[in-house]
Structure 1
Amino acid sequence: MAFVASGHTLLRLAALAIAGITIAYFLLLSDLPYRDYTGVLNSPTRPGYDWASRPRVHPIPESNLTRLPAGPPRRLPRVQYDFSKDPKDPARDRVLVQRREAVKRAMQKNWDAYRKHAWRHDELRPVSLQFKDPFNGWGATLVDSLDTLWIMGLKAEFKEAVKAVRLIDWDNTTSPKCSVFETNIRYLGGLLSAYELSGQRVLLKKALEVGNMLYAAFDTPNHLPVRIFIFEDAKAGGLVAPEDGTLASVGTLSMEFTKLSQASGDPRFFSAIDLIKRELKRTQSISRLPGMWPGKLNLKDGFIPSGNSFSLGGGGDSAYEYLPKMYSLLGGLDDAYEEMYKKAMSTIEKHALFRAMLPPDKKGTIPDVLFSGRVTVDDRSIKRQPHVEHLGCFAGGLFALGGKLFNIEDHIRIGEQITRGCVWTYAAMPTGVMPENSGLIPCQTSNLTQCGWDEERWKQESRPGLPKGFSAVPQAYYSLRPEAIESVFILYRITGKKEFQDIAWTMFEAIQKATETEFANSAIRSVLATGETFKADSMESFWTAETLKYFYLIFADPALISLDDYVFNTEAHPFKIPKPKKAPRHLY
């Protein structure tokens, strides 16, 4: 019997067909290459200035753009310890679950306080329960914490955060300028990592919005970026690279801009930072301390290493950190990063690392540890300053990671010694927490050999009231920094030594005791306190983005964010490492 449709039925069928075609179109769209949905990705999610369409004052012809390295990624050396070889230990697994849940509860507590009292602002004041906006008011904690929420399985919180991120308007700012460095590592890095982990395309769109804005920082006469991005000057085309640039600010753009090119297919971002790589390579051997770059660079008159202070601490730290990490992120296809790493580490080992005169432990043993100091160079001498910065504690992980990637076994040993040096500094303080900056009494031995303890020398060179081994603690505060636990995490994942998990737990308990408030965690004024610590009413976004993330991961299944699959930017945002395609299986 023939079926005759009514007019209403035909309309319903037509509507269903149109809906089906529309859904199919967008499903297909999500898997198309970048060039097929450029307009979709570059269209802002909020009204405002369209940085993607901004005319470039100092254009670079498309033919001159440097593309991502061609060819399949190399098979990189295994970095992470093979945990499958270890025997099962149910009792220890239960302990790790308890520790991991304790970290997760700390994250949940801090996030709930941020959500209630500082939502969509940069930071929570954890004592007064007010907010502050030092990073333009775009929601630094919100964006910085996205991947932490995802990794910890806080999916409802993540979903709500993504909805809030979609509302960010980069034109709605609390300042007429922004730091290129901070905007890059926190906002761009946070968006890209969360996008790769979750697949939420709106996060890639937001990353492109802020990436296009930061790309304008390179629109200078010599194509080197500004350090402070003044929005109106950028829109008017009046940016000039600074004379007072810093190594970290210019050398810590490469991972995020590379990942943005990898994720979007747009070569401009990678091309911009590849110029910086070429300048780093060109100038590495002509600084006042060949192999290292100074903290200060003159970018206005070219890429000129003008400073005389060298260190792995503030001003230079993450530029060195990114050398082996860029090698991984590019699938081993750019040997320049390996070459620069080896030259830099050789100089650092010779001039920046030092042994300190330390008191023996309860067993009468002097710890086998190393520290990284600051080096100043003048026309007559090279002087090492035995100051230990918390910022520089990432160096343990740097050496260990480079040692695995480039098959330098001695660097893994050095990385472990530096990491244990930072752990010793934590344990030596009354609160069990490391200060921002401290001075040690250096050994007077050669070739980084350990010296014995000299009580009289320490009394003569130290200030009264300090723990044994320290000569000064000029900056005694702790701002919830992640660098020490970062290296402890990396050393655990590389060596498989469970001792590092126990060290991490001791650190976590000490930090909680010293910094926890009723509602969240706060920076403290002095780690030398013997009683109640004075809370500074400050909680930077790296507390939830980095510190708590590393504490969680060291107690988690090692397969979660494996070091063979991901590489972390300096704000602890994991980026996927390109892998060679597996050969197809043949059927016979």
Structure 2
Amino acid sequence: MLPVSAGPAGSRSLGRKTGSSASLRRISRRFGGPLGVGLVLLLLIAATALLLHTALSDHEDPGLHVVEADGSGVSGGAARTQLLEQPGEQQHLFEDGAGVKGGQQGGGSKHGVDAALAGDADGAKAGGADEQQQDGAEEAEQTDHPARTGQEQQGQQQQQEQQQEQQQKGGTGKPSKFAQALQKQREEASQQAGASRKARQPLPTSFPAQPEPTVVELSPEEVARRREAIRQAMVHAWGGYEKYAWGYDELCPLTQKGKNDFGGLGATIIDSLDTLHMMGLHKEYDRAAEWVRTQMPLDSDFDASVFETIIRVVGGMLSAHDLTGDPVMLKRAQEVADRLLPAYNTPTGIPLNILNLKTLAAKNPTWNQKASTLAEFGTHQLEFWRLSQRTGNATYAQLAEATIQHLNKIAPNQGLMPLFISPRSGNFTARRVSLGALGDSYYEYLLKMWVIKGKSDDMYRTMWEQAMDEMIDKLVFVSKDNLTYIAEFERYGLKHKYDHLVCFVPGMLALGAHSGAVTGAKAERYVKVAGDLTHTCWQMYHRMPSGLSAEYVTFAAGGMRPGAAYNLLRPEALEAMWYMWRLTHDWRYRTWGWEVFQAFERHCKAEAGYAGLKDVRLAEPIKDDTMQSFFLAETLKYLWLLFSDDEAFNMDEWVLNTEAHPLRVSQPPQQQAAPDVAAAEAARKKWWWPPGPGQGQGQGDAAAAVQQQRR
């Protein structure tokens, strides 16, 4: 539980004051009289000036953000102190649980978790993701050399190369291999120079409020036109993937090739199934479904994120089964889930985060002292409960739900939970609290488990309500320019940082009010906060020169500034707009959503699909080379739903998992109404085993056990 007031970190002194008369006498004796003292003082003055210059430079860096253990940030000398300070004139959103103060109506991987949790080797690779994504920003800030000087140098270099080329030509006059290589190098250098010039656009140093667009009610014909434009974006994205990356996890739209980041399970194919079906792209769906039936591999020698595999692959195929009734989709979902079950083979039943799909050896990464993370083990329940209900095998639900029962046992009446827990002891290992990366979807699934179980299991609803009350009372703030945001809590105090990932929260609050998880004055309070947070999420787009949001923003100095300035085509802001549209039918949400879609079309569309951006602070941003599978699973789906009639998706009959895969709401069998810790323990003893000599945790005779289970 968070303390009521976490004090600001405060300013840090650059150094202690020294120089008493006794000290001067000692210096004088040591360095040979007054001349030595003077030299020492000059050195001290120079060093102090250098420190001040460095500190001021760090303070003025528009891209300043914090380095965290999860690798999310770029260091800066004063960054930690600045980011953890309480903003000077900001007010907490609710004082003593009372009304709103200063409010203005207006959340690599899906959750930013995969980079940190993909194992030692992958974690190291992903740990540099921010640096890679910041290349555009770094180039943009390197404006010391005039363009003219660069052109002169390039001209001299080309002249020298031409002379070398003439010397290398044979008697036939045809260019030699050496000359051809030089020509290729020149072409590549020219392309890089063009990208560099594009990156050297001047960066803004502030991001003030911009005039808001006029909100008008659209005609049904215009709504239909916009919906079709979004559908055609899905056709374009899918077509690029199908042409250049079929069977791979994701498309590289610039180099027009595929890559595997999720074990070669065809993540984009499975993530896209329900979107294709809902949009009426039935031929495309049929080709995707046939690949799942006949070609999807199960035993890649790959350390997969258990969390990502469940929400994307298992969830995607369960959704396809619920939408179409295809029994093969259910069978394949169960086959993948069976391979993930050894991750639960721990003393507490808290699952490990990573599992090799071939050896079935499970582990946790070392960067967080081999702890399991809240969003990892707290985001299996929806899919595993649905799988148990569809297959009649209660084990999946029992294992997944027992982890929530464990949290409720060790932290009763506590709303917000720390991010890390030991799977061996079952105790929390750190105090950090966040509704962004590593924590987000745990809270989402508390509410959605209550919904999908027919609102019959009040443990989930109570835990969710306690968490939301504590979040609003202790983490929701309003900035100087009236932007409402959710801060984070860590061991040093509050961090005024707002992830794009956290933009899922207003949608979750809206769903809580719609579903009746809260009622009356509390529901009104939740909806007010949801509207204000959605406005901030839209401002994260609207204030950027590119019209697209940074990965996160900070409010350390009172105003909003981008931290990590890249954009990964994330869906959370559009998710919030859709939920708020369904709850209020306020046309501002369709206006904002269309503005975001136009920015995607303007800056992210490539010949072979859509790509993320390296720096949204640029008016002409540079693309990266990845089309995230969640762009098709979530981003385009939420946009399409935003411009669809309410009948296109019945919120009372369906619930979306955290990857936006719809699962049908229904009553569970009586024996599955609540987590059963005893049954979960019995299942572990029956289905799993201690590791044998020389074997890793959870490995043992795993393959044989899974095969035996299928019989």
- For residues 318-349 of structure 1, the C-alpha deviation after alignment (integer angstroms, 9 at most, x for no partner) is 00111111100111111001110111111111
What SS does the aligned partner of 2:435 have?
Answer: coil
Conserved? CA contact 1:144–1:190, under 8 Å = yes
What SS does the aligned partner of 1:234 have?
Answer: coil
Instruction: Quote the Cα distance in structure 1 between the aligned partners of 2:509 and 2:659.
Output: 18
- For residues 452-511 of structure 1, the C-alpha deviation after alignment (integer angstroms, 9 at most, x for no partner) is xxxxxxxxx48xxxxxx33x4230000000010001111111122222112111111112
Residue 90 of structure 1 and its aligned partner are, at CA, apart by 11
Task: For 1:54-453, list aligned pairs within 5 A.
Answer: 92-173=219-300, 175-231=301-357, 234=360, 243-285=370-412, 290-302=414-426, 304-358=427-481, 369-377=483-491, 383-404=493-514, 405-406=516-517, 407=519, 408-441=523-556
Whether 1:495 aligns to 2:584 is yes
Tell me the equivalent position of 2:56.
none
- For residues 515-556 of structure 1, the C-alpha deviation after alignment (integer angstroms, 9 at most, x for no partner) is 1112211010011012x2201011110000000000001111
What SS does the aligned partner of 1:354 have?
Answer: strand
Conserved? CA contact 2:263–2:357, under 8 Å = no
Change (3 A) 1:323 1:564: same
Whether 1:518 aligns to 2:590 is no
Whether 1:534 aligns to 2:622 is yes
Tell me the equivalent position of 1:476.
565
- For residues 419-439 of structure 1, the C-alpha deviation after alignment (integer angstroms, 9 at most, x for no partner) is 111011211111111100111
Instruction: Quote the Cα distance in structure 2 between the aligned partners of 1:399 and 1:556.
Output: 21
Conserved? CA contact 1:311–1:352, under 8 Å = no
Instruction: Quote the Cα distance in structure 2 between the aligned partners of 1:91 and 1:193.
Output: 32
Residue 562 of structure 1 and its aligned partner are, at CA, apart by 1.6
| Deviating more after overlay: 240-249 vs 96-105 | 240-249
- For residues 61-105 of structure 1, the C-alpha deviation after alignment (integer angstroms, 9 at most, x for no partner) is xxxxxxxxxxxxxxxxxxxxxxxxxxxx99611111111100011
Tell me the equivalent position of 1:45.
none
Larger radius of gyration: 2
Count of residues in Structure 1 that have an aligned counterpart in Structure 2: 446
Instruction: Quote the Cα distance in structure 1 between the aligned partners of 2:257 and 2:296.
Output: 22
Conserved? CA contact 1:283–1:305, under 8 Å = no
The runs of at least 4 aligned residues of structure 1 exceeding 6 Å deviation read 238-242
Instruction: Quote the Cα distance in structure 2 between the aligned partners of 1:319 and 1:91.
Output: 37
One-letter amino acid of the structure 1 residue matched with residue 334 of structure 2: L
Instruction: Quote the Cα distance in structure 2 between the aligned partners of 1:352 and 1:555.
Output: 32
Instruction: Quote the Cα distance in structure 2 between the aligned partners of 1:90 and 1:533.
Output: 32
Tell me the equivalent position of 1:548.
636
Conserved? CA contact 1:243–1:300, under 8 Å = no
Instruction: Quote the Cα distance in structure 1 between the aligned partners of 2:463 and 2:526.
Output: 15
Indicate the RMSD between aligned Cα atoms, in angstroms: 2.2
Residue 285 of structure 1 and its aligned partner are, at CA, apart by 4.5
One-letter amino acid of the structure 1 residue matched with residue 477 of structure 2: F
What SS does the aligned partner of 1:339 have?
Answer: helix
One-letter amino acid of the structure 1 residue matched with residue 664 of structure 2: K
Q: Which has the higher helix share?
A: 2
Conserved? CA contact 2:265–2:298, under 8 Å = no
Instruction: Quote the Cα distance in structure 2 between the aligned partners of 1:275 and 1:505.
Output: 42
What SS does the aligned partner of 1:513 have?
Answer: helix
What SS does the aligned partner of 1:310 have?
Answer: coil
Instruction: Quote the Cα distance in structure 2 between the aligned partners of 1:240 and 1:355.
Output: 37
Conserved? CA contact 1:433–1:478, under 8 Å = yes
Higher relative contact order (CA 8 A, sep 6+): 2
Conserved? CA contact 1:221–1:240, under 8 Å = no
Residue 579 of structure 1 and its aligned partner are, at CA, apart by 6.0
Instruction: Quote the Cα distance in structure 2 between the aligned partners of 1:556 and 1:579.
Output: 28
Residue 109 of structure 1 and its aligned partner are, at CA, apart by 0.5
Residue 232 of structure 1 and its aligned partner are, at CA, apart by 5.7
Instruction: Quote the Cα distance in structure 1 between the aligned partners of 2:230 and 2:525.
Output: 33
- For residues 15-64 of structure 1, the C-alpha deviation after alignment (integer angstroms, 9 at most, x for no partner) is xxxxxxxxxxxxxxxxxxxxxxxxxxxxxxxxxxxxxxxxxxxxxxxxxx
Instruction: Quote the Cα distance in structure 2 between the aligned partners of 1:543 and 1:494.
Output: 24
Conserved? CA contact 1:245–1:296, under 8 Å = yes
Instruction: Quote the Cα distance in structure 1 between the aligned partners of 2:298 and 2:218.
Output: 53
Instruction: Quote the Cα distance in structure 2 between the aligned partners of 1:435 and 1:227.
Output: 27
Change (3 A) 1:188 1:232: closer
- For residues 335-388 of structure 1, the C-alpha deviation after alignment (integer angstroms, 9 at most, x for no partner) is 001110111111111221111112xxxxxxxx5x4211211246xxxx221111
One-letter amino acid of the structure 2 residue matched with residue 117 of structure 1: Y
Whether 1:563 aligns to 2:631 is no
Instruction: Quote the Cα distance in structure 1 between the aligned partners of 2:454 and 2:491.
Output: 36
Change (3 A) 1:386 1:399: same
Instruction: Quote the Cα distance in structure 1 between the aligned partners of 2:588 and 2:602.
Output: 21
Identity of aligned residues (%): 34
| Deviating more after overlay: 557-566 vs 399-408 | 399-408
Change (3 A) 1:554 1:169: closer
Change (3 A) 1:217 1:536: same
What SS does the aligned partner of 1:575 have?
Answer: strand
Instruction: Quote the Cα distance in structure 2 between the aligned partners of 1:339 and 1:168.
Output: 43
What TM-score do you get using the length of structure 2 for normalisation?
Answer: 0.60
One-letter amino acid of the structure 1 residue matched with residue 662 of structure 2: P
Tell me the equivalent position of 1:38.
none
Change (3 A) 1:538 1:91: closer
